[in-house]
Amino acid sequence: METPVIQVQLKDPKQWKTLPPAEKLGFGNFFSDHWFTSHFSETKGWTDAKVEPYQNLSLDPAAAVFHYGQALFEGMKAFRRADGSIWLFRPDFNARRFNDGAERLCLHTVPTELFLKGIGAVVRADSRWVPKEPGCALYIRPTLIGSEGFLGVRPSREQQFFVILSPVGSYYSEGAAPVKIWVEYSALRAAAGGLGAVKAGANYAASLQAALHAKKKGYAQVLWLNVDRQGIEEVGTMNVFFVFKNEIVTPALNGSILPGGVRDSTIQLLKHWNKPVVERRITISEIYERHGKQELVEAFGTGTAATISHIGELQWQDKTMKLGGQHELSQQLLENLNGIQMGTKPDTFGWMRSLDSL
Ligand code: COI
């Protein structure tokens, strides 16, 4: 199927929004002036690709997205370097994962060229929204939904793909300070064979109730366990790593954990530094036991929104695991990833794509 030509219809600059100050950004609170959108139908393929002013969607209330949850998204970032140039971190990784998710949700895949060119076109249109302040970036949210109005339970024959942009600072209100995490032993986020390994909106719907309970108790996030309520999964907004004296462990991808881009980059960096990183099953009992023996040195999360986040405390039932002030490895990872993104450290793995190349 042909990739459509992208039309660009920009807003009158007199109607541009005022840019929010960096210290007010937080995460996902502001949206840029434009979006990218394209429609798909089984008869016409991908059509109507355009950058136009940010606006509300117009959808049939019977659309599949509302009733049967055909909704998928990605999270990516664009960075402004000191010379003013704009760079994206591993957009090809996101394009691949997006289409893996589309297949799982019985949505038609978005051609990689349309995915990357659509993102390039809207980021270019809204380049003034890419913040220059340290720790800030332009968060990119590609989204794919089933848009056909029909109530039979079958895959939607029409779809909408769109990309919105949000300038962001820190994901957590704690900023760079270590986060407190609640280990959920009752509710489940996902099970192998379900949707946990793809970025379906449904995974986040499943996580909201436990996250709300955790928040009320003073925890920033929930650490999910496997169906056996023992195996460590992920934190919904990030993958997790545990640094022991003799090994660095992250849960192996088991079909219910999201294969995170920053997770993958972290593993590659650690291997490059000859650190003993392993992907394997790890249980909460093992963490509790090894924490008791003072073998657990630090723990951290990895994610596009969360970057590298230090974990300061884990609460599992009545057991509190304080992780002290050691964040040596997570800090080193954070500085290196930042450096690669901002162009102050070599991009050994070829992760960065300049906006001009999209
Ligand atoms: C991301 O890190 O991009 C995420 O999608 C996590 C979350 C904000 C939903």
Q: Are 70 and 106 in contact (CB under 8 A)?
A: yes
Q: Which atom of ligand 1 sits closest to the CA of residue 262? A: 2
Q: Which atom of ligand 1 sits closest to the CA of residue 27? A: 8
134 vs 1, higher pLDDT: 134
Q: Is the CB of 99 under 6 A from ligand 1?
A: no
Q: Are 110 and 46 in contact (CB under 8 A)?
A: yes
pLDDT tens figures, 13-71 = 999 999 999 999 999 999 999 999 999 999 999 999 999 999 999 999 999 999 999 99
Give dist(CA 315, CA 68) in Å, integer: 35
pLDDT at 1 over 70: no
- Domain boundaries defined on the chain: 7-169, 179-342
Give dist(CA 256, CA 253) in Å, integer: 7
Sign of the Cα torsion 223, 253, 272, 99 reads: negative
Q: Are 3 and 23 in contact (CB under 8 A)?
A: no
Cα–Cα distance list, 240 to 17, 125, 204, 298, 347 (Å)? 37, 35, 17, 11, 24
Q: Whose CA is nearest to atom 6 of ligand 1?
A: 237
Domains 7-169 and 179-342 equal at CATH topology level: no
**Among 321, 323, 319, 295, CA closest to 309:** 323
Q: Is the CB of 75 under 6 A from ligand 1?
A: yes
Provide the token pair at 307: 């970057």
Out of 3.30.470.10, 3.10.20.30, 2.40.30.10, 3.40.50.10860, the CATH code matching 7-169 is 3.30.470.10
For helices 91-104 and 261-272, give the axis angle rounded to 10 degrees.
Answer: 130
Q: pTM for this structure?
A: 0.96
**Among 123, 141, 157, 147, CA closest to 44:** 157
Q: Is the CB of 237 under 6 A from ligand 1?
A: yes
pLDDT tens figures, 122-157 = 999 999 999 999 999 999 999 999 999 999 999 999
97 vs 134, higher pLDDT: 97
Q: Are 176 and 237 in contact (CB under 8 A)?
A: no
Predicted local distance difference test score (pLDDT) of residue 174: 65
Q: Report the pLDDT averaged over residues 162-167.
A: 98
Q: Is the CB of 231 under 6 A from ligand 1?
A: no
Q: Is the CB of 142 under 6 A from ligand 1?
A: no
Q: Is the CB of 304 under 6 A from ligand 1?
A: yes
Percent of the chain with pLDDT over 90: 93
Predicted local distance difference test score (pLDDT) of residue 289: 97
Predicted local distance difference test score (pLDDT) of residue 128: 98
pLDDT class of 175 with cuts at 50, 70, 90: low
pLDDT at 327 over 90: no
Predicted local distance difference test score (pLDDT) of residue 164: 98
Q: Which atom of ligand 1 sits closest to the CA of residue 73? A: 5
Predicted local distance difference test score (pLDDT) of residue 236: 79
Q: Which class for 21: exposed (0-12), middle (13-18), buried (19 or more C-beta within 10 A)?
A: exposed
Q: Are 123 and 142 in contact (CB under 8 A)?
A: no
Q: Is the CB of 236 under 6 A from ligand 1?
A: no
**Among 262, 272, 232, CA closest to 249:** 232
179-342: CATH number: 3.20.10.10
